[in-house]
Amino acid sequence: REVAPPSPGVLEARAVRRDQDFEFQESLAADQAKERQRQEEEAAARLREQEEQARAKAEAEEVALAAAKRQEEIEAARAQLPAEPPASAGKDSVLVVVRLPDGARLQPRRFNASDKVGVLYSFVRVALYDLETKDGREHVGQEFDLVTNMPVKALTDKDVTCAEADLTGQTLLMVQYHALSTPKGA
């Protein structure tokens, strides 16, 4: 028996179906490509987030190590500070008042005339550290000079004694931060 050729309506329906199948396959491929791209973007975002977390962790560890080192240095400086002589030591001692750039003053302290100027620097570093932990301003680690006000001169030789640096009686010293290391709070 001979099969009759399909009618034009059936041929048209088959063509429509074939076109729909083709369009569906194209749409499916496009959707799959979009899904792959979305997954790749999510993976890249997760990777960036992990890298950022690792960087932040490394940075936090570095800051913690620097803070621990700074604290060690301060405690070593604190341990090396000589005992404060009594007020009755007279001309064998000098009362040092230190003024910060913002006008604040550190607690006055008496030193032996035979103490080295480096001891004054250690005292100021320790006092600035204590001030930082109290008020949150960053002072520690800033490079500075101690400067006399009359006559104005920087005490840069830390190996001379207070007496050799002409620090006698009651002396006002000013903290002068180096230009490139001005503290954030000043």
Residue 27 has pLDDT above 90, yes or no: yes
Residue 185 has pLDDT above 50, yes or no: no
Residue 181 has pLDDT above 50, yes or no: no
Residue 64: per-residue pLDDT: 92
pLDDT band at 169 (very low <50, low <70, confident <90, very high): confident
pLDDT digits (tens, 9 = 90+) for 125-141: 898 888 887 776 665 56
Give the CA dihedral 63, 64, 68, 71, nearest 10 degrees: 60
Average pLDDT over residues 20-40: 96
Contact criterion met (CB below 8 Å) for 185 and 109: no
Residue 22 is which amino acid? F
Tokens 């999510």 sit on residue: 42
- Quick check: helix, strand or coil at residue 27? helix
What's the chain's average pLDDT?
Answer: 88
Going across the sheet that includes 144-149, the strands are: 109-112, 93-99, 169-177, 144-149, 152-154
Give phi and psi for 86, each to the nearest 5. Answer: -70, 160
pLDDT digits (tens, 9 = 90+) for 32-48: 999 999 999 999 999 99
Residue 57: per-residue pLDDT: 96
Q: Which helix (H) or strand (E) holds 175?
A: strand 169-177
Average pLDDT over residues 116-130: 91
